[in-house]
Every structure is written in C-alpha cells, then in structure tokens.
Structure 1
Amino acid sequence: MLQAIGLTSAPRGDRPPAVDDLTFGADSGGVTALLGGPEAGKTTALRLMLDLEPGQGVTYFSGSRLHQLAHPAREVGALLGDVPGHPARTARGQLRMLCAAAGAPLARADELLEVVGLAGAKDERLGALPLGMDRRLGLAATLIGDPQTLLLDEPAKGLSAREQGWLYGMLRRHAERGGTVLCTVADAKEAVRFADRVVAIDAGRLVADQDAVEFGRTRLRSRVAVRTPHAVRLADVVHREARAARRSVEVVTEPGGALSIYGSSCAEVGEAAYRHGVLVHRLAEETRDAGCAPDGERPSPQQDEPTPAAPARKKRPGVDGISTALPVPRPMTAPARPLRYELHRLLGVRTAALVVGAVLLVSVALSLMLARSQHTPLQDAVAAWPDVLPLPPAALAAGLIGALAFGDEYRYPALAAARGTVPRRVGLLLAKLAVTAVAALLTALLVAVADLQALRLLYGPDATALPGNWPALAAAWGGLAVGCAWAGLLAAGTFRATAAGVAAVLAVPVAVAPLVQKALSTPSVRSVAGLPDRLRDLAWGQLPHQADIWLMAGARLLTRPVGVALALSVAALVCAYAFAGLRRRVRW
C-alpha cells in the first residue's frame, strides 16, 4: 500500500507551489490513476514521493519511508519519462546494467525482455527504439527488482490504442498479483477505463478521490455538441421544450455558432430542430470532465467513447492521525553490485573502444615522427609525447575515459529517475576508480606496445633497445595514465559534467605543473636517497629486491613537476568530491 501525506513542493520565486498539501493513498491489488491537466502537478507529486523534489510531506511504501528501505528497487519501481539510458546501449545491455545496480541476476534481463515482448529486439539500440518499444523497455526496467509498487508518469502518452491496451493489461496483472500501481494520466475517460480508483488534482490540490465507477458517474458530464447557423433560435427552442416537459436542461453558447447542451440527448435535440425547421450542421454526444477544471473554466471537449465499468475495489483506508513532516535527506540508491554495474556501463557502449582505437592511431603516427630525430629519447618516442602537447595522447585518452565514467551518469541517468541524482556512495566511487585505473593501464600498455612494434618494424630492432631503467619508466608511464583517469573521474563527479573532467586533466600540465615547478625550483637540503631501505625496515615482511626499483620510480615520479601536480590535483578533487556530496546531503 502507498500513502502520500501532506505533499507540498517548494515554491519557486513568486509562484505558488506546484503541489499544495496533497494527501491520498493507493491500495495494494489495485490500479490508481493520478488525474490532472498539463499544469496540475502530477509529475511534481511523483517526484516528491520519490524524494527527488525539495518540499514537505511524507510518503509511505508498505509502511516505510523510501530512505528507510534496505533495497528500494525491490519495493518501488519508477519511470518518469523515457528510458534513461545511453542511446548507443542495447536494450539487453541496459537491463543487464540495471540488474547489476539492483542486485538481481543477469538472467533477469532476458526474462523481462520475454515478458514485455522485446526478446526479438534485445540487440536494438536505445536511440533507435520507437516509442512503443521504449515504453515496453521502461516498464521492464521498473520490474527488475520485482517491486511491490509501480510509479509511472503518463506511461501511455503518445501510444496507439493497441499499445495502450497492452500496457494497461500489464499494469492490471501486476495489481492482481498484489502489487500497487500508481500512474498519472491526463484524460479522465482513460482513467475511468483502466483504473480502480481515480485521484484528481488541479493546481496541486486534491479535487476528487473516488472509486473509478463513482468518479465516472459523478464527474464525467455528458453533453450534446451542436453546430448550426441558427444557434440562438435553436437554444430558445430547446429551452421552451425543456420547460414544457419540466426537465433540467442547460444550453451554453460557444463561439462559431456552436451549442453545448447538457441534460439532453442527440435524439431529443435532433427531433426538436426538425420540428421547428432549424438547420443543423453537426450533432454529436460528447463527454466532458466536470470535476478537474479550475473554477469558472470549462474543460475542453473530448470525443465520446464507450466507458466500461471498472470492477469495484475495496475502499482506501483513511490516513487521519498521521502528521506531515519536514523534508528528509534525499535517498541515494547506489548499485548493489557496483563493480559489475561499472563494467557493464563501460563495456556496454563503444565509446571507450573508439577512444582507445583513435589514440592508438595518433600515438603510432606521432611516435614514428618523433623517432626520426636522433635527439628524441626512446621513452618520449614510445609515449608519443612531443613538446607541443601538454600530455601524451594515451594520458588524454585515460582522462577522457575517466571523465565519461561520471559524465555519462549525469547525461544519461540510469541509477535514479531524474538527472543529477547519481549517488555519492563509497562503493560506487571505489568501483569507478578501480575500473578506470584498469582501463587507463590497458590503454597505456597498448599504446606502448603498438609504438614499440611500429618503431621496430620501420627503423629496426636497434631503434627499440630498452634502457636499463625501463621498469621505472614503465611505472611512471602507468602512474601518469592512472592519475589522469582519476583526475577526470573526480572532476566530472564533482561538477556533474564530462567537460569539467577533461578540463581538469588539461589543467594539470597547463596550470598546476608550472606552479609546482616554480615551488620546486628552490634549492633543497633534503634527499629521498635511501627511501627503499627505510621502507623495507617498516615492512612486516621481507620485500623483494625488485621492489626497490618500483619504489624509486614512484619517488622520482612524485618529485617531478607533472607528478606532483597530478598528485595534488587528485587529492584536491577527492576533497572537493567529498565536500560536494556532504553539502548536498545537508541541504536536502
């Protein structure tokens, strides 16, 4: 069961709140329609229920607040708008990624594709799915955790009658299994057709909360729409005959020679026009919603359709005695299996592969050009790092991959129902750090191997003789790639944009490194000589002799301006990321 109590959105400027003290409920085993016009506040109400909108009020899902649920995906499935996924990701890949986020087995993705009828389109890209398939995939995404409650924002909008029938049938079956379904709708007749209960709102306030059958009987007003060049004469005829028959009939004159006649039928109006010789151009019965329009304003006419009676359901228990509360911190749902989620996110699209492929081609070309000069050291040729570039292409590619790790989360939000709600949990951050580090190391390794092989092929083996300190150079090379990847990752996570991550990577050699170099230019009276021996003395076990080489490589890297700048930048971005998450939590 779902209970929403005292929902009130925060006002923006001088405008009144979009939702104002809204209280209603939705029963288990039934379908509830949240009815209202385009500006009624339906979507804002759902966002308040999901704690995605600042405001007041509380919402209970089976007796618990959303932030109190140990596994929210197993209790609430929500879809606000289109499927929030990268357009290049496949339908199956999207569901498998969401399965990892919800802690569900990967086989659940194929099972749901069968349920929603998309098994044959599992390899279709999200950006190529038509509207009907997109809504089917969205419904599958809400069902991944087999939730008790479904919240959907106008799921049938824009669908054909056949697709609407299929969608409402799926929602009905979920309710018949004991689930709770709440979806917004703008058409009153549509709400009466598929729902068991109708909660109508206007300007954010409750207008009606009734059983669907009762709502259709009391709120949907039937009328006869007439168009005639003699509107005034026909109105007078209808009034006179209604008084003579002692019937209550209301005639409303519309612009353009149209009449709206309430309390009569097409047969009665047509016979009256025939008897008095009044020419009629149009005569039709229509249904208007008489309960959801603002005072003094009539709703727009809607074409008449048969309205089958919905089965009666048990009445909603009252929610009296439960007071509203102040806003609570927004619940952030991190992936239940963050490492698996991050791997599916990275490998589910071809962006990373295209970036690595492009950097391989550029690096090989630059390496061959640099090696033509006898004054170019081998390490610079293998890194493909000319003096005109602030960073080698491999490091820039690693930074871009890191920036996309968080940038795509905000551009194509899959962890929550709205943009800007990526959770700042330690597990997710560690998973992203680990995956981007591995991706950066693989990129650096592939570039080094490709450049060495290209140099060996073109200039012979003598041109690729490795220096004796190659382990130290390799450690520095890998550290540079990982540092750039982490700088891009943390900056994109802090500022919610891929561009911010790329800018942070470029700022390290362009802005930070010169400042560090200036600070290091003063003479030093201290040296790190003997650091490996001192570290060996502190170690619990005996370190191998080769560890000295790697330790000294790391020490030398941290004494170089770029290495120090990179380390300082990553440390500063970690602090900024943590501070931004803490400030947002306190604010909400």
Structure 2
Amino acid sequence: MLQAIGLTSNPRRDRPPAVDDLTFEAPPGAVTALVGPPGAGKTTALRLLLELDPGRGLSYFRGRPLHRIAQPAREVGIVLGDVPGHPSRTVRGQLRMLAAGAGVPVARADEAIRAVGLAGLEGRRLGSLPRGAERRLALAAALLGEPHALLLDDPGAGLSPEERGRLHALLRAHADAGGTVLYTTRDARDAARNADRVVTLDGGRLAAAQDAGEFARTRLRPRVVVRTPQAARLAAAVTQEARAARRPVEVVTEDGNLLLVYGGDCAQVGDTAFRHGVPVHRLADETGESRPAGVGEEAAPGPLPGTGAAAPDRVAGARRPVRSPLRPLRYELRRITGVPSTALVLAGALAVSAVLAVLLGRGGGTSLPAVLAAWPDLLPLPPAALGAGLIGALSFGEEYRYPALAAGRGAVPRRLALLLAKLAVSAAVALVLGVLVAGADLAALRLFYGADLIIVPDNWHAMTASWLGLSVGCAWAGVLGAGVFRAAAAGVAAVLFVPVAFVPLLRQVMSGPAVRSVAGLPARLGEFAGPRWAPPLDRWIAGALEVVAQPAGVALLLTLTVLLCAYLVTGVRRQARW
C-alpha cells in the first residue's frame, strides 16, 4: 500500500503551491493513474512522495517512510525521465553498474533486460538507443531491485501506440503479481483504458479518486472522430441537421481536417457525410475528456484511517532516502571499466610518455629519473601523473554529469563508502599506470639507445616511492577536486594547482636553513618494533621520507588534506539540509 497524506509543496513566489494538501492511496495489486492537465502538479506529487522536494505531508510505502527503508531500491522502482547514463556505456554495462548500486546480484541485469524486451540490444550504446528502447531501459533500471512499488512519471511520453501497449502490459503484469503501480499521465483515455484506479488533480489539489469505470463514466463522454479533407463543410452539415432534428450536438475542429462530434454516433455522422458528398478518411467512436471538475465536485476521500483530519506538519523531503551504492567497490569498478575514456587516457599517457622519454634521452643532458618519467621542464607534471589525475577527476565528474545514482537527478550521494571506493580504485589505476609508463619508457630507451646507457641508481627506492606517490596523489587530487566542485574540470584544475601555484610558494618557504632533521627515523622505528622489524623496510621508509620532505610532496599532502576536509564539510552541510 502506497499512502500520501497531506502532501503540500513549498509555496512559490506570488503563486500557490504546485501541490496543496494532496491525500490519496495506491493499493497493491492495482495500477493507479495520476491524471491532470499540464501544470496540475503530477510530477511534483511524485517527487514529494519520494522525498526529493521539500514540503509538508507524509508518504508511506507499506507503512514506512522512504527515508527509514534501508534499501529503497528493493521497495520502490522509480522512472523520472530517462536513465541518465554515459552515452558510450552499453545497456548491459549500465544495468550491471546500477545493480551494484542497488546491492543486487549482477544476474538481475540480464533478467531485467529480458523482462522489458531489450534482448538483442544488450551491447548497444546508450547514445544510439531509439526512444522506445530508452524508456524500456528506464523501466529495467527501476525493476533491478525487484521492488514492490513502481512510480513512473509519464512513462508513455513520445512512444508509439505499440510501445505504449507493451509498456502497460509490463505494468499490468507487475500489478497482477501483487505489486503497486503509480504512474502519471495527461491523457484521460489512457488512464481509463489501462488503470484500475484514477486520481485526478486540478490545480495541485485532489479533484477525485475513483475506480477506472467510474472515472470513465463521470469524466469522459463519447464522441465521434472524423477525419476528412472537407472538415468545415461536414461540420456545418452535421450542425444544421442536428438543429433540424432538435438534437444537442457539439462539433470541434482540430488540426484543420479532424472533427470531434459530441452528441452523435458513427451512423448519424456517416449518413450526413454521404448525403452531402463529403469524403471521409476516418470514422470512429471513442471517449474524450470532459471539462475538469472543480475541487470538491466529486467526493474526495477523507483522511486515511488513523491519520487524523488535519494535514501533518512534518516536512516531506527533509531527509532523503539513501542512494549510495550498497556495493561501492563493485559499482566503481564497473563504472570505470564501462566507458572507453579510461582505456583512452591510459593509452594516451603511455604513448606520450614513450615519445617524450626517447626525445629527452637523445640529448643525454637530462637525469635518468626525469627521462624515465618523461618529465621535461616545460610540463608541470609528467604525462602519467596528468593521466592519473584525469582518471580521478572523471570518477566524480561523470557522476555529476550523468547522475545515475540519484532518483531525482540531484546531487551524487556524498557517503564515505563511495568516496573510499573511488579513492581505492583510482589509486590502483594510478599505480598500474605508473608501472606501465616506467616499463614502456625503459623499453623504448633501450630499444633506441641500447641497454648499456641505462644504469640503475642506488636510490631507486626513493625514486620508486616518489614516482608512485606522485601518481596516486594526483589521482586523489582529481577525485577530491571533482567531488568538492562537482565537475571534472575542477578536478583537473586541482591537480595542476599543486605544481603551478603551490610548489613555487613552498620552495620559498622551505628555502631557509633547517633547524632539526628526521634523519635516523627508520632506525628508531626498528628499535621500537624490535625483532619483527625487517631491514628492507629501512630503505623504503627512508625513500618515502625523502619524498615527503620535498616541496612537491608537502604541497600535494596539504592540497589533499584541504580537499578532503572541504569534501567532508560540504557533505555534512548537505546532509543537514536534507
């Protein structure tokens, strides 16, 4: 049972609220349609139900508010527009990523594909799907968690009659299995044909809540639809004969060649057209929407049992339901591997690094670390670090550009588990990229100039720690920068800020003489740890300390600390407003 009690949206400037004191219910095992003209408040009502918009009132899903349901995707499936996915992602890849977000087995993706009739389109890119397939993909995403309730905002918009028929067949099957279905539509005939119950909105208020049969009887009236190239002539003839026979009739002309005749039947209109020699291309009986009744013309249901008569003062939407992935690491792995941008960045970094390494090694005046890193003086960062930073920035940038996690296409959930997953995956990719780039550059140098010129230095531990630390630090700066400022470009800017602006400043600060030194720290740690201390750790710790002591290392650590604090603070503030 889905219950809405006193839903009222926040008032708008110089205008009444879009939804005002709306109370209705959608029973299980039935399809309920929310009907009204454009601007009646249908979409706002759904968003209030889902606690996506601020306002007053209560909404219950089988007796529980949505923000108290631990796994919302298993209680309610939502279709608010199209599925916001990356155009390069495949249908199967998108649904498998969303399955990880919903915490359901990956096999549910293939089951949902078959259920909505997308079999054969699993490998199609989202950007190449036709309109009907996009709507079926949105429904498949809503069905991933096997929810009890389905909430859909105008699901048949832009679909052909055949596609709408398939869509309503799926909704009917869900209701027949005991589920709850609530969808919005502006077409009263659609609601009368496909729904069991119809809730009518007028100006944001409840006009009626009826069974579909009663709705068709009280809100729809029969009419004859005629399509003819001589619409004006036939309209005049029908009106003239109706007056002569003293029959009430109303003739409405639409689109120039379409007549809607209220108060007659097909036989009467056809005979009139025949007598006046008017060609008819279409002649059919159907039901059309009557004038919307004012609020209160039909008996509106009273307060639901046990709720009281007054509208609740509790704020609907003050606490949003949790939308973070229940399996964040699996979600992030599927997200980063499901688009070609990751492979393109990795391949580009490898190719550019190899070319720069060969060019730097040709002169012989560049140090070996700079040659292996492919880091000329004119670049603020080596290609591998820039590539790692770009991959990190895209990890959050794509979330905000294609917000697949949020039902209302709002902010990406700022949960610690999601952040840790992105940091872990971006760090792993950065480490792999750093190792691949070093290996590719070394192989290119040996191929062009021979192996005798490449001599491994004694401080290779510090070099390795510096190289991998720089790659991981840039990746994390990209993740946090994009997460704080909600754009991939901001993440890249955060990566470039360290060498361009911060490092020169720190070099001036650290140029003075040092009073104290941390020399001997590895030995003191070994004494503290006792026999469990492994001697090789001395070299790695010394290398790490040498890296951190450099201006670039200090600048990167400070930048990451500031970005992490900013991310946590902004996340706390947004959660407080929810």
Q: Could you state the TM-score of these two structures normalised by the residue count of structure 1?
A: 0.89
Structure 1 window deviating more from structure 2 (563-572 vs 38-47): it is 38-47
Out of 552, 559, 566, the position equivalent to 2:549 is: 559
* C-alpha contact (below 8 Å) 1:332/1:422 kept by paired residues: no
Counterpart of 1:102, as a letter, is: A
Q: Distance in 2 between matches of 1:187 and 1:511?
A: 59
Is residue 312 of structure 2 the alignment partner of residue 321 of structure 1?
no
Is residue 210 of structure 2 the alignment partner of residue 221 of structure 1?
no
* C-alpha contact (below 8 Å) 1:25/1:316 kept by paired residues: no
Is residue 350 of structure 2 the alignment partner of residue 363 of structure 1?
no
Q: Distance in 2 between matches of 1:413 and 1:538?
A: 49
What is the Cα deviation at residue 554 of structure 1? Answer: 1.8
Is residue 166 of structure 2 the alignment partner of residue 162 of structure 1?
no
Q: Secondary structure at the match of 1:375?
A: coil
Matches within 5 A, 1:497-516: 497-516=487-506
What is the Cα deviation at residue 260 of structure 1? Answer: 6.5
Check 1:198–1:502 CA distance in 2 against 1; reply closer, same or farther (3 A cut).
same
Q: Distance in 2 between matches of 1:62 and 1:53?
A: 21
Q: Distance in 1 between matches of 2:260 and 2:94?
A: 50
What is the Cα deviation at residue 374 of structure 1? Answer: 2.2
Matches within 5 A, 1:370-389: 370-389=360-379
Q: Distance in 1 between matches of 2:216 and 2:411?
A: 39
What is the Cα deviation at residue 536 of structure 1? Answer: 3.1
* C-alpha contact (below 8 Å) 1:395/1:485 kept by paired residues: yes
Q: Distance in 2 between matches of 1:474 and 1:423?
A: 36
* C-alpha contact (below 8 Å) 2:72/2:321 kept by paired residues: no
Counterpart of 2:575, as a letter, is: R
User: Structure 2 regions of 5+ residues with no counterpart?
Assistant: 296-301
* C-alpha contact (below 8 Å) 1:398/1:484 kept by paired residues: yes
Q: Secondary structure at the match of 1:221?
A: strand
Aligned to 1:241: 245
Is residue 568 of structure 2 the alignment partner of residue 578 of structure 1?
yes
* C-alpha contact (below 8 Å) 1:91/1:123 kept by paired residues: yes
Aligned to 1:34: 34
What is the Cα deviation at residue 29 of structure 1? Answer: 0.4
* C-alpha contact (below 8 Å) 2:369/2:463 kept by paired residues: yes
Aligned to 2:124: 124
Counterpart of 2:245, as a letter, is: E
Q: Distance in 2 between matches of 1:337 and 1:541?
A: 40
Counterpart of 2:84, as a letter, is: P
Counterpart of 2:336, as a letter, is: L
What is the Cα deviation at residue 273 of structure 1? Answer: 9.2
Q: Secondary structure at the match of 2:323?
A: coil
Out of 357, 377, 380, the position equivalent to 1:390 is: 380
Q: Secondary structure at the match of 2:25?
A: strand
Out of 482, 491, 512, the position equivalent to 1:492 is: 482
* C-alpha contact (below 8 Å) 2:5/2:304 kept by paired residues: no
Counterpart of 1:379, as a letter, is: P
Q: Quote the sequence identity (%).
A: 57
Matches within 5 A, 1:93-172: 93-172=93-172
What is the Cα deviation at residue 580 of structure 1? Answer: 0.9
Is residue 212 of structure 2 the alignment partner of residue 212 of structure 1?
yes
Q: Distance in 2 between matches of 1:294 and 1:387?
A: 75
Q: Distance in 1 between matches of 2:272 and 2:340?
A: 71
What is the Cα deviation at residue 26 of structure 1? Answer: 0.5
Q: Could you state the TM-score of these two structures normalised by the residue count of structure 2?
A: 0.90
Structure 1 window deviating more from structure 2 (440-449 vs 226-235): it is 226-235
Q: Distance in 1 between matches of 2:261 and 2:133?
A: 42
Check 1:6–1:228 CA distance in 2 against 1; reply closer, same or farther (3 A cut).
same
Counterpart of 1:24, as a letter, is: F
Q: Distance in 1 between matches of 2:500 and 2:128?
A: 41
Q: Distance in 1 between matches of 2:429 and 2:551?
A: 24
Check 1:230–1:194 CA distance in 2 against 1; reply closer, same or farther (3 A cut).
closer
Aligned to 2:451: 461
Q: Distance in 2 between matches of 1:6 and 1:338?
A: 36
Matches within 5 A, 1:411-560: 411-539=401-529, 542-560=532-550
Aligned to 2:343: 353
Structure 1 window deviating more from structure 2 (559-568 vs 534-543): it is 534-543
Check 1:184–1:461 CA distance in 2 against 1; reply closer, same or farther (3 A cut).
same
Aligned to 1:25: 25
* C-alpha contact (below 8 Å) 2:5/2:303 kept by paired residues: no
Check 1:463–1:291 CA distance in 2 against 1; reply closer, same or farther (3 A cut).
farther
Q: Secondary structure at the match of 2:8?
A: strand
Q: Distance in 1 between matches of 2:252 and 2:289?
A: 18
Q: Secondary structure at the match of 2:315?
A: coil
Q: Deviations over 1:28-83 (max 9, x none)?
A: 00011111233222222222222222222221111111110011111111111112
Counterpart of 1:498, as a letter, is: A
Q: Deviations over 1:395-440 (max 9, x none)?
A: 1100111011111111112212232331111111111111110001
Q: Distance in 2 between matches of 1:147 and 1:540?
A: 57
User: Structure 1 regions of 5+ residues with no counterpart?
Assistant: 296-314
Check 1:540–1:11 CA distance in 2 against 1; reply closer, same or farther (3 A cut).
farther
Structure 1 window deviating more from structure 2 (48-57 vs 462-471): it is 48-57
- Give the root-mean-square deviation of aligned CA atoms: 2.7
Structure 1 window deviating more from structure 2 (133-142 vs 455-464): it is 133-142
* C-alpha contact (below 8 Å) 1:332/1:421 kept by paired residues: no
What is the Cα deviation at residue 533 of structure 1? Answer: 2.4
Q: Secondary structure at the match of 1:119?
A: coil
Query: How many residue pairs were aligned?
Result: 562
Structure 1 window deviating more from structure 2 (461-470 vs 435-444): it is 461-470
Q: Secondary structure at the match of 1:5?
A: strand
Check 1:479–1:190 CA distance in 2 against 1; reply closer, same or farther (3 A cut).
same
Counterpart of 1:513, as a letter, is: V
What is the Cα deviation at residue 239 of structure 1? Answer: 4.4
What is the Cα deviation at residue 225 of structure 1? Answer: 6.8
Check 1:540–1:349 CA distance in 2 against 1; reply closer, same or farther (3 A cut).
farther
Aligned to 2:179: 179
Check 1:538–1:68 CA distance in 2 against 1; reply closer, same or farther (3 A cut).
farther
